[in-house]
Structure 1
């Protein structure tokens, strides 16, 4: 057992340590912490407990890093072997399921723990700035390490039961959202139901549900970190959150081992799936004959699900909006048509941003993954036109969300005419829009280089860039007074527009290079 685990463990670490990007990422992470430390030292004379503020930034930076690692890094541990069809070969070589799971999960876990360990000495410097003690630093990193172990095993379980990396990442995302947002929402609904006398608080199932929700909430690393960062923290680092995360992580590993034979050994299709596209020509979900723009037709139906997926989105978004508006109407007791429109607008705007972000991560990666880029490049069209046609076909999949967004605009048309005039005149608004476009182009560009994780990596890169920007502005404010924010926003917008144009040419050249291989 341990021989197979050690072989996989040694190979994974050897490959990881030989990659330049591994050490570069750790170096950049340490540089970011040093930059935060420098800014905290510069502002220590103007604020109290500068060390605590610095330490809080670093802790939440690590929290975001762990979330991104769970969605991308850990969720592909087994699915990458499924997609390459090498699990059978590993088992034939005498590697049992436990060894395989340990050999695939432990190297990734250690790589993530190393990223935490390299910043620990720098974090101790926050003590010298005041407001934080060594016990708080130690307790925070212990809590983050336990949470990392939990997320690693959650990603491993989702990777075992999923056929594709994208599905595993989606399951991890749903699990984390349910854990951090679903549990507080359920507790809020339970409390509201008791206060409104819909149910009795003494009813046994309600009491049990409350106890379970409290246990889950107390195991949250956010609650533990909030307690650690509070003034006068004097609790043990090996508390309930540590042991609950550790035990539940072991439970998830055991569940992954139990389900391994059921899910991981099933043969996966070596061709792209049709998903909700019907094969019968007379079906309403059938793609029918190809459109004049065949690539647009192909991406809409065979990548994004076609009419079937659009209908599901239309119904799901409608039900979600109805439930959300009903909840707000009940809690506020007065919910006008304008407020309904605002709720629909902002909710669907967030949905559209998420959908386009997912599209940007898949639009070219699908062609590379299924090795169809070479045949696509043989069409009598330029690579630029092929790329833009694929973009238009993918954007058709957001029409259900765009319909509800437009409906929300109609409900609040009069107010939005006045608000839009004020918003459009702000340079910060255009900087935000340009930054979103830059993020989508960066994601599409990275998806042509890496097998998985382009979207989380782009998000992390943009987050680091924004952190540098705001820290730089703060330092300028300390040194030379408040800068001209409007002029600074215009300059940043201009630079990002240049970057977007550059990405167009870089993506084209990258696709041409991949098609010629």
Structure 2
């Protein structure tokens, strides 16, 4: 058992240590800690407690990286073997399921824990800067380490159950959202039901439900970190959050072992799945005859689900908006049509941004993954027209969200007519728009280079770039802004930043095209 585990463990670590990108990632993380140190030093001149500011930034930075690792790094431990169809070969070599799970998950967990541990000495600088005690540092890193252990096993379980890496990552995101958002919302909704006497207070059901929700709330690493970062923290680092995350992580690993033979040994097709598309002649689930633009037709139906998925999105979005507006109407007691329109508008705007981000991560990745760019490039079209056709087909899947966005705009037109002029006149609005466009282009470009994780990697790179930009602004503001007349200089920097991002969008167009041409010629 341990021989197979050690062989996989040793190979995974050897490959990781030889990859240049692994060392670049660690260097990037160290650079982020340096930015946090300088930012805390600058902030201490205004609000004091530089150590607490530095410690808070580092802890939340680690939390974000752990979440991204759970979505991309841990959730692909077994699915990548399924996609390459090598699980059967590993089992034939004498590696049993438990050894395989340990050998695939332990190297990733050890790599993440090493990244967490090597920064521990630098975090001790926060104690010398003031505002933080040694017990707070120990408690914070214990909470993050046990949450990392729990999340790695959650990703392992999703990787065992799901057939594709994208499905496993989606399942991890849904699980995290259900815990971090679902538990507080459930507790809030249940308290309202008790206050309005929908449920009789004092009963066994109410008492037991409150205890379960309280236990789930205390198991959250966010709540534990918030408690640790408060001044005067003197609790034990081995609290409810530590032991609950540890036990749940062990249970998730045992569940992955039990479900391995049921799900992990299922044969995965080596060709792209049809999804909801049916061969039968039906207007909803059949693609029918190809359009004049065949590539747009292909991506709309076979990548985005076609009419069937659009109808499902339309129904789900409508049900979610109806439930949200009904709940706000019930709690606020006064909810006008314009406020309903604003709620629909902002909700669907967020949904649209998320959908376009997902599209940018898979529009070209599908061709790269299934090695169909060679045959696609043989069409009598330029690579630019092929790329634009694929993007157009994927954008047709945004019609349900765009319809609800239009409805929200109509309902809140009177309210928005006054504010839209002020928003459009703000330079920061155009900066955000350009930055979002650059983020989508960066995601699409990265999806042609890496097998998975283009979207979280683009998010991290954008975050690092923003931190570096605002870090430079902070340094320049100390030299110019606080001596008078610095507002115009900072506005000029903002304009330069917007122009630089616009140039980056244009360059990324050509880089994506050249990358697709290179992949098609291989």
TM-score range, shorter chain: over 0.9
Q: Which residue of 1 aligns with 2:330?
A: 330
How far is 1:416 from its partner? Answer: 1.4
Hey, what's the Cα distance between the residues in 2 that align with 1:404 and 1:38? Answer: 44
Give yes or no for the alignment of 1:142 onto 2:142: yes
The more displaced of 104-113 and 481-490 is 481-490
Q: Which residue of 1 aligns with 2:440?
A: 440
Q: Which residue of 2 aligns with 1:381?
A: 381
CA deviation string 1:353-374 (max 9, x = no partner): 0000000000011001111111
How far is 1:221 from its partner? Answer: 0.6
CA contact (8 A) 2:438 2:501 kept: yes
Moved over 6 A (4+): none
How far is 1:483 from its partner? Answer: 4.1
- Please state whether the residue corresponding to 2:47 is helix, strand or coil: coil
How far is 1:283 from its partner? Answer: 4.1
How far is 1:280 from its partner? Answer: 1.1
Q: Which residue of 1 aligns with 2:36?
A: 36
Alignment of structure 1 residues 240-389 onto 2, 5 Å: 240-389=240-389
The more displaced of 283-292 and 73-82 is 283-292
How far is 1:487 from its partner? Answer: 2.3
CA deviation string 1:174-214 (max 9, x = no partner): 00001100000000010000000110122222221211111
Hey, what's the Cα distance between the residues in 1 that align with 2:223 and 2:284? Answer: 49
Q: Per the alignment, do residues 286 and 224 of structure 1 end up closer, same or farther by CA in structure 2, a change over 3 Å counting?
A: same
Choose from 483, 486, 491 the match for 1:486.
491
Give yes or no for the alignment of 1:496 onto 2:498: no
The more displaced of 412-421 and 4-13 is 412-421
Hey, what's the Cα distance between the residues in 2 that align with 1:345 and 1:47? Answer: 37
Choose from 508, 513, 517 the match for 2:513.
508
How far is 1:281 from its partner? Answer: 2.4
CA contact (8 A) 2:35 2:467 kept: no
- Please state whether the residue corresponding to 2:237 is helix, strand or coil: coil
How far is 1:460 from its partner? Answer: 1.2
How far is 1:127 from its partner? Answer: 1.3
- Please state whether the residue corresponding to 2:44 is helix, strand or coil: coil
What is the RMSD of the two structures over their aligned residues, measured on CA atoms?
1.1
Relative to the length of structure 2, the TM-score reads 0.97
Structure 1 residues not aligned, in runs of 5+: none
Q: Which residue of 2 aligns with 1:210?
A: 210
Hey, what's the Cα distance between the residues in 2 that align with 1:438 and 1:408? Answer: 27
How far is 1:74 from its partner? Answer: 0.4
- Please state whether the residue corresponding to 2:45 is helix, strand or coil: coil
The more displaced of 233-242 and 12-21 is 233-242
Hey, what's the Cα distance between the residues in 1 that align with 2:43 and 2:109? Answer: 35
Q: Which residue of 1 aligns with 2:419?
A: 419
Q: Per the alignment, do residues 201 and 469 of structure 1 end up closer, same or farther by CA in structure 2, a change over 3 Å counting?
A: farther
Hey, what's the Cα distance between the residues in 2 that align with 1:400 and 1:453? Answer: 26
Hey, what's the Cα distance between the residues in 1 that align with 2:145 and 2:193? Answer: 37
CA contact (8 A) 1:304 1:397 kept: yes
Q: Per the alignment, do residues 114 and 483 of structure 1 end up closer, same or farther by CA in structure 2, a change over 3 Å counting?
A: farther
CA deviation string 1:400-447 (max 9, x = no partner): 000000000000112212211110111100000001001100100000
Hey, what's the Cα distance between the residues in 1 that align with 2:341 and 2:478? Answer: 42
CA deviation string 1:281-328 (max 9, x = no partner): 244321111001000000000011000000000000000000000000
CA contact (8 A) 1:51 1:131 kept: yes
Hey, what's the Cα distance between the residues in 1 that align with 2:223 and 2:167? Answer: 29
